[in-house]
Structure 1
């Protein structure tokens, strides 16, 4: 049966229904058209991106929000998570393995360079080739020939850390070709009914030829094709701000309703909140913990909250001997039982979080609480102490303090201190936050396997799929699997799920894979989120999308 993915979106409909029923705060805001200024620049909260702004190398939230505004892909997602064709005229398949993509005529980058089928083929091959060291190359794993271009050799250094060295046997994926200027043919390694759902994610964005010629230089001043463009040469002022202005030539589904967005970098959400109260900042999606109980009264009619496809975890480094073997397994379980998720969600997050029940959030289709092993998420002080003592009997804990690495800009200090106190009170171990002013600094240490203890982590959905909360984070060699977790049985179940004929069959396999995660506990699910945002008197309307990201292009200023 031939079908187009523009109409096959059962999972997305479930998300839309969940969000519609969830209820919002003052949400949205309204103003007459006469009071809206379409040329006004929006000043928005952010932090320094981790890497140069290349779509296939950006997989953290602060760089991601910029990249998503500078570029447009084959598809995008509306506020409810429904896929919408952008540069794609059509996306079709007869067998869910060979896909034919037609590109709309006339698409160009802001430098005038045409966007053709070859543009996408070259961009995707660049992203997947291991020698280019792109974080998101993993997203092309389904395409035939990916294994040849992504190959690496793994060795171990004197300290036992894994070192990956690129060793591709080909420079292009055999399953990817440009048939003509407007037609891309993609052959997958196996049938995957929902493959095209991913095509709105930034890893699949097109790149101009200059990016492929000199990625490092390009990443400092990227040229894209999205609703915004860099305001000028040097618009990225490191550790200060990034200035974007409206792309007047853009004609896609995300046309900007304002004149631009300037992302201002903060290392602490409290000054940003104060700036908002004084109308010196226009919008933030990161609130200080002490404002979670008051933001609706601090910003009456200028706030919004809804459940989103985002979750939080504490990741456990497998390279740390304290968490290896049978003793390590018992310690992981003890740590999980020692966290009072419900109390922290209520007291510190004022109900804007709910205790996690799985490794994926409830708004994603296929979510279930009934996963074997999920009971490890229940707070049980006695059980936690018993498990820790069993671990001590096998192998004593090596170290005086358990550190929990976290960026301090995201309002994380208070809840991490609460978790650390839980470890002290329930396990009898000293624990403390390992603070980082920049999120990028912590990510770099995670990537180099250099953290001494646990790491705060979170995932904002790239595309609305249960797999997206599992594969990129926990599959062997995955782009955001910084702690290098690996389990062949888990990988096999993911592959089976990707090759399933129906979403229901796929999700059943993905939930089987989650049971393995609960057995191994490479990370501890903490809570799911309802993302609050607040805005200044300079903003008439604002909202978040399905995954909690602010829809900056849709902000109306006054």
Structure 2
């Protein structure tokens, strides 16, 4: 889920089946023959950036916990197909007005009943600007969002004029209605994402306490959170949905480096690892044998260059972004550091998403050409001279391969452009994300996007739409925003995807981020577990893992 997990989407986007199979060695998972359901599974994790509130969790470490301790109206199976969880039905005759019925008799982990009001109140809480939730952008399709979101038509901040969205109405304990600002035929696909989870009345009354000790409705409940060490999840006895745990719990162990996690995996002190460190990428399939996997998923890697950096504004800034993009030899990095487990990016989305195109106009800016890069850099200097500062790329040390590829990229940039360039390490993902969210970067930052559900829009709107929660670089282009809106209102999936690819042409001109490569999950598991597989978004299906 990228540094973030966010989205909106057009099109019933389906994961391409062939792309989701293991692309080299290992297996696509194991079976649960004679499985031991009494085992607690240990899994690789990190310290969540924020308290565990649905509308404020938009990064991978918090997201994987939230998806286990909460359930939305929908969930997504291993292939990305939607499955009803809390929803009994989600109906619409015009793709703008929806009637949602939830299953009766469902309970939160504390035994309190779940009603339609718990969803409506949670969504209003998430959207209201005074609550400062990172995922508030998810609710912008709902009528009345602008009244609660402190966002004026020109994208500038304004005081909220309402406390609730006019498009949400509670009908009875199991029914509520949603009116969107415009017709969006695929809107319900988003309803399995974190932002749309329900909240108890107590959580809304005291979100600080709820973020530390959440009361959810998912297959697990959070037993303890030992900050910067581990998060212990145990099965939720009140859960009745399709993701019933086949184990006695999941403990996420917080690691400061992927190398340490890998050594624990080899020693059978860690059961599941997603993200093999660069130091072991060439040997892990031999080390682990049929306990390894390489599986394409809906994710990509990019470099964000914030628009608030003076040297990267205006025409000179645009030329500099192009120069940096063309100075990076992506193929060489993928070969030498990632052992060819990734593929060079040709757009801003992912090839496993329906509607993907590898021929979007403007994509030539991603082609490595050191000579052309230097010319572009010199053209920028003719407009506004570079201040001779060091160009930096911020990265988190606790992520697999980050240091290695950032070191390689900055060395290539330095050689091609004749400037000083180096990595700027952060000890943890949380620390990096904090500076990113505070808009305190002094250079570029590495980023990765893990889709929330299969859609082109999921890779575009949440990251580059004006005011979007995961728009790290503060990018804003009214023409791009208009294309997104046009795509969302298209009459068919194919038409919408065509328009979204037209929107990407604008991104290639502006380069708010520099696409690097498409992701494939590299992972492994211990000798002590069975039933391991990874979903369409690269996340292990924790609930399906058992002991041997």
Partner residue of 1:385 out of 374, 393, 417: 374
Which residue of the partner structure matches residue 489 of structure 1?
479
Q: Secondary structure at the match of 2:63?
A: helix
Q: Distance in 1 between matches of 2:520 and 2:120?
A: 37
Q: Cα distance, 1:21 vs. partner?
A: 5.7
Q: Distance in 1 between matches of 2:306 and 2:212?
A: 32
Q: Distance in 2 between matches of 1:44 and 1:331?
A: 41
Equivalent pair of 2:22/2:294 in contact (CA under 8 Å): no
Which residue of the partner structure matches residue 506 of structure 1?
496
- Long gaps (5+) in structure 2: 1-8
Q: Cα distance, 1:26 vs. partner?
A: 2.3
With 464-473 and 18-27 compared, the bigger mean Cα shift is at 18-27
Which residue of the partner structure matches residue 126 of structure 1?
125
Which residue of the partner structure matches residue 6 of structure 1?
none
Query: CA 1:229–1:455 in 2, change beyond 3 Å: closer, same or farther?
Result: same
Task: Please give the residue correspondences for 1:312-331 in structure 2 after superposition, counting only pairs within 5 Å.
Answer: 312-331=301-320
1:41 aligns with 2:40: yes
Which residue of the partner structure matches residue 5 of structure 1?
none
Q: Cα distance, 1:449 vs. partner?
A: 1.4
Q: Distance in 2 between matches of 1:360 and 1:28?
A: 24
Which residue of the partner structure matches residue 543 of structure 1?
533
1:334 aligns with 2:326: no
Query: CA 1:166–1:261 in 2, change beyond 3 Å: closer, same or farther?
Result: farther
With 467-476 and 112-121 compared, the bigger mean Cα shift is at 112-121
Partner residue of 1:294 out of 283, 292, 312: 283
Q: Cα distance, 1:440 vs. partner?
A: 1.3
Q: Distance in 1 between matches of 2:17 and 2:533?
A: 17
Equivalent pair of 1:48/1:440 in contact (CA under 8 Å): yes
Q: Distance in 2 between matches of 1:368 and 1:32?
A: 38
Q: Cα distance, 1:475 vs. partner?
A: 0.2
Which residue of the partner structure matches residue 459 of structure 1?
449
Query: CA 1:498–1:313 in 2, change beyond 3 Å: closer, same or farther?
Result: same
Deviations 1:401-447 (A, max 9, x none): 11100101112000001100100111111111111111111111111
Q: Distance in 2 between matches of 1:415 and 1:252?
A: 41
Equivalent pair of 1:131/1:166 in contact (CA under 8 Å): no
Partner residue of 2:339 out of 350, 364, 386: 350
Which residue of the partner structure matches residue 177 of structure 2?
185
Deviations 1:291-312 (A, max 9, x none): 1111111111101121100001
Query: CA 1:258–1:47 in 2, change beyond 3 Å: closer, same or farther?
Result: same
With 392-401 and 367-376 compared, the bigger mean Cα shift is at 392-401
Deviations 1:134-157 (A, max 9, x none): 1001001100000101014899xx
Task: Please give the residue correspondences for 1:5-404 in structure 2 after superposition, counting only pairs within 5 Å.
Answer: 14-19=14-19, 23=23, 25-30=25-30, 33-34=33-34, 36-152=35-151, 167-231=159-223, 235-404=224-393
Q: Secondary structure at the match of 2:452?
A: coil
1:432 aligns with 2:422: yes
Query: CA 1:12–1:154 in 2, change beyond 3 Å: closer, same or farther?
Result: closer
Q: Distance in 1 between matches of 2:308 and 2:31?
A: 54
Q: Distance in 2 between matches of 1:543 and 1:264?
A: 19
Query: CA 1:416–1:23 in 2, change beyond 3 Å: closer, same or farther?
Result: closer
Q: Distance in 2 between matches of 1:10 and 1:118?
A: 27
- Long gaps (5+) in structure 1: 1-8, 156-162
Q: Secondary structure at the match of 2:338?
A: coil
Equivalent pair of 1:337/1:376 in contact (CA under 8 Å): yes
Q: Distance in 2 between matches of 1:17 and 1:148?
A: 42
Q: Distance in 1 between matches of 2:31 and 2:146?
A: 53
Which residue of the partner structure matches residue 4 of structure 1?
none
Q: Cα distance, 1:373 vs. partner?
A: 0.7
Q: Secondary structure at the match of 2:382?
A: helix
Q: Distance in 1 between matches of 2:525 and 2:471?
A: 34
With structure 1 as the length reference, what TM-score do the two structures score?
A: 0.94
- The number of residues matched between the two structures is 539
With 17-26 and 534-543 compared, the bigger mean Cα shift is at 17-26
Q: Secondary structure at the match of 1:299?
A: helix
Q: Distance in 2 between matches of 1:24 and 1:467?
A: 29
Q: Cα distance, 1:248 vs. partner?
A: 2.4
Deviations 1:199-244 (A, max 9, x none): 010100001111101111110011101010012xxx1111111110
Q: Cα distance, 1:249 vs. partner?
A: 2.4
Q: Distance in 2 between matches of 1:201 and 1:534?
A: 26
1:552 aligns with 2:542: yes
Q: Distance in 2 between matches of 1:270 and 1:164?
A: 44
Query: CA 1:28–1:325 in 2, change beyond 3 Å: closer, same or farther?
Result: closer
Equivalent pair of 2:21/2:295 in contact (CA under 8 Å): no
